[in-house]
Every structure is written in structure tokens, then in C-alpha cells.
Amino acid sequence: MGSSHPKPEFDSPWRQLDWNQRGKIEAQLKDFQLKTPNVSHLRILLCGQVGAGKSSFINSVESAFENQITVRAGEASCAGKSFTKRYRTYKIKNGSSGTLPFVFNDVMGLEQDGILTEDIISAMLGHVKEGYEFNPHKPLAEIDVDYNSQPSLDDKAHCLVSVVPANVISRMDESVMEKMNTVSQRANDIGIPHLILMTKVDEACPLVKEDLKKIYTSRKIKEKMVECSNKIEAPMKSIFPVKNYSEESDTNDLVDIIILSAVEHIVNAAHDYVSYL
Ligand SMILES: Nc1nc2c(ncn2[C@@H]2O[C@H](COP(=O)(O)OP(=O)(O)O)[C@@H](O)[C@H]2O)c(=O)[nH]1
Ligand SMILES: [Mg+2]
């Protein structure tokens, strides 16, 4: 092939993912314990446009831990309206013995007519009470009953995760990007880590769709990550390409490994943050 047609696949992966270590990653997460007496769980805030795969990611994490497909966080069956309107915390079960020491929050999509930037920031700072229904036309105000004026460390987010689908990065809405960048800038000012989940890698690259193990050898995925890095102004190392469970009826090791290793990085970043508070 000539230089105008670069090979669609690199000879070796540019990031390592051990495809035999599903059990090890899972065990590490299940055994993970917080070393901070003032925080009882790590709170991970997911944001992104409607249809980005936020709910699917939460469900995929739960599915990986439960060894079966679960659909607790409402997933949209078709693109369009934002399914999630209420602020909800998702805990993940740890066998029959309790829950894992990290939780996820899913907010309404941030497209036009979606969640307001100030509301995502309020959620990040712990001001939004559980169950609050976001209003795209009016931000949560200090006088509202759903406003938590004295959030504890547990109420605050310890990691901000932007969820961006690999197959729409090139044509992502300017307003979505702007909201995302405003929120991540704020996170950065406070010191809250910001990571990016680049979802739907299967939709972005046929090689990966066919064989998930090619996620880090696919030129297309690397290109998408670079594009993501430029648009969201985040370093490559903070971007995690993932494939969520979407149409599968059973879990499998490859998806589990991709999902769990992303969770591991998110949890470590959140833990680092609370460790130095
Ligand atoms: N092929 C594929 N589909 C996905 C992936 N993640 C999510 N989806 C699908 O995208 C649609 C929107 O996902 P959803 O989780 O509801 O997005 P949310 O609005 O961000 O919560 C659903 O039909 C999902 O099944 C992925 O990684 N690959
Ligand atoms: Mg959702």
C-alpha cells in the first residue's frame, strides 16, 4: 500500500490491555477499599449528550459485575429526547454482601433543550438532591427544596466523566461541546479529575466491531481519540475508548475487560483526588 493509504491497523497496540485478566481486574475493583475516613464512596458524574451511552455504560458496569445483562439505568431505545431527567445515584452491587465503594450519577443530556451548564456544575459540587428533576429552562436555585446548600464530601463528585460517542465526534454539536468544555474547565479549576469515555467504538470502526481486541490497534479509533482530544481539550491519556453492552443478551470477557478497565482508571483518578483533599 502507498503512503496515501495507511494501513487500517497498527502492527502493535499503542496501549496495553491484558485480554486474559478479566478476573484480576474484577477482583481488584471488588476488593477496592477507600483509604479516606471522610468519604464513604467515590462519586462519578457522567455527562454527555442524549444517546451518548451514559445509561448504557452504567448498565454495562453492573452487567460486568453481575455476569449478566442488566438494564437498571433507563436506556433510550431511539435517539431524540433525553430519557434521564431526574438526578439519580446508581450503586453497584458487590455480590450479595453489599455495594461497591463507588457510585455513578447520570444527568440529563446536555444538548440544546437539555440540562443547563450551571446545573451540571451544581451537581458536581453536590448541591443537587437525589430525585431532582432538571428543568432545561431554569437552573436549580439556592431557595429550592432540592438545593443542598451544605453538601458533604460524599455528595460532591470526585471525578467528572464526559461521554462522547466515537461515531459522532466529527459532527458534534457546537453547543454540546461548549457546555462540556465549560464544565470540565470548572472541574479543572477545582482539581476534580476529568476523564472521557469514548463510546460506540464498534460503530466507528468495522475492524473493532468484528474483533474488539483491535481497539488499540485500529487506526480509526486512534484518529477518533485524537479528534476527541482536540475538541474536548483533554490529553490522550485521559480518553478511554469503550464498547457498551447494547444488543448482547449475555456478557462476554472482552466487553467486560474494556468496561472494567475503564472503571478502574476512573476509580483510581477519583480516589487520588479524595486522598489529597
Ligand atoms: N453499538 C453500540 N451502541 C451503544 C453503545 N453505547 C450505547 N449504545 C446504544 O446507544 C443508544 C443510547 O444509549 P443510552 O445509554 O441510552 O444513552 P444516554 O442518553 O447517554 O443515556 C442505546 O440504543 C444504546 O444501546 C456502544 O458502545 N455501542
Ligand atoms: Mg440515559
pLDDT in tens, 176-201: 999 999 999 999 999 999 999 999 99
Asked whether 243 lines ligand 1 (CB < 6 A), one says yes
Which pLDDT does position 83 carry in this prediction?
64
How many alpha carbons fall within 13 Å on the CB side of residue 46?
32
Residue with the smallest CA separation from ligand 1 atom 23 is 77
Number of domains in the chain: 1
Residue 3, domain member (yes or no): no
What is the dihedral sign for C-alpha 42, 48, 188, 259?
positive
| 80 Cα to the center of ligand 2, angstroms | 11
> For the whole model, what pTM was predicted?
0.95
- 220 Cα to the center of ligand 2, angstroms: 26
pLDDT confidence of residue 111: 85
CATH of the domain at 80: 3.40.50.300
pLDDT of residue 65: 95
Q: Is residue 18 part of a domain?
A: no
Distances (CA, A) of 66 to 27, 69, 94, 252: 13, 8, 8, 12
pLDDT at position 226 = 97
pLDDT value at position 108?
Answer: 86
Regarding the beta carbon of 270 and ligand 1, being less than 6 Å apart is answered no
Asked whether residue 196 is assigned to any structural domain, the reply reads: yes
Residue 257 lies in a domain: yes
**10 Å Cβ neighbour count for 213?**
16
DSSP states along 39-85: -SSEEEEEE--TTSSHHHHHHHHHHHHHTS----SPPPSSSSS-S--
Residue segments in the chain with a per-residue pLDDT below the cut of 50: 80, 82
At 185 the pLDDT is: 97
Predicted pLDDT of residue 37? 85
Which range marks the domain in which residue 221 is found? 46-275
3-state secondary structure of 89: strand
Domain contains 258: yes
The answer to the question of residue 25 being in a domain is no
pLDDT at site 95: 79
Number of H helices, E strands in the chain: 8, 6
* Ligand 1 atom closest to Cα of residue 49: 20
Do the domain assignments include residue 129?
yes
Ligand that comes closest to the CA of residue 85: 2
